[in-house]
Amino acid sequence: MIAVVTGGGSGLGRMIATALLDAGDRVVVAGRTRSSLESVAGADPVVTDVTSAESVAALFDHVRSRYGRLDLLVNNAGVFGPGVPVPSVSEEDWQAVVDTNLTGSFRCARAAFGLMAEQDPRGGRIINNGSVSAQVPRPNAVAYTATKHAITGLTKALALEGRAHDIAVSQIDIGNAATELTAGFAAGTLQADGSLRPEPTMDARHVGELVVHMARLPRSANVQFVTLMATTMPLLGRG
């Protein structure tokens, strides 16, 4: 299987890429920092900025020329943005989150569609990282929450259009996987009632394992939406 993982040099992207490599897949890791990408042993690193249409086009040109096909795209690249109340979110901060999380995912999906629809045998699979913020927000995260809700709409639209090309499209909503971004959760995280409370995390390896499972389903089956979260995180009581 030929796979592309965006944001593949660190955090969840690195875990996903490593799990796919361990499963025997050939994996292109895409991200902005070459040193991080090159540290993913066995992967094919391609420096990519998903906020640039030209950069995304170059990534998929590389996949086409080197491998001749694409079986899996994991749209993982994303940024959280500033953790501040709505009045303090600047136009620039808002746009940076939209450009990365939403438009970047669209660009990569569009390029993947073009390749998957034309290859022989045709088809493939796209897995979007929605985050549990695609379901309910955290305080002080308006841009991140809006883009992750939009990813759900993107997933549904891609899944609908993908039927004609044997392209299965899924979304995985992840809650409190242990990465550098959640390292401070044990010390206390802002809750909807204004309090600070510690939150549990789960081993991020479970995310990679789930992606491998989803990727190996026959094209006739699809996990459309799935939530993988730390069991006792306060997601269901959020808000």
Q: Is the peptide bond before 234 cis (omega within 30 degrees of 0)?
A: no
Conformational region of residue 214, where left means phi above 0, alpha means psi within -120 to 50, and beta covers everything else = alpha
Q: Which of 130, 144, 154, 208 is catalytic?
A: 144
Q: Is 144 a catalytic residue?
A: yes
Q: Which residue type does 27 have?
A: V
Q: Which residue has the tokens 């939209």?
A: 98
Whole-model pTM over 0.85: yes
In a 3-state reduction of DSSP, which class is residue 45?
Answer: strand
The reported pLDDT for the residue numbered 23 is 98
Domain ranges, ordered by start, for the chain: 2-229
The reported pLDDT for the residue numbered 239 is 55
Residues of the chain with pLDDT under 70: 238-239
Domain 2-229 top-level CATH class: alpha beta
Sign of CA dihedral 175, 181, 186, 189: negative
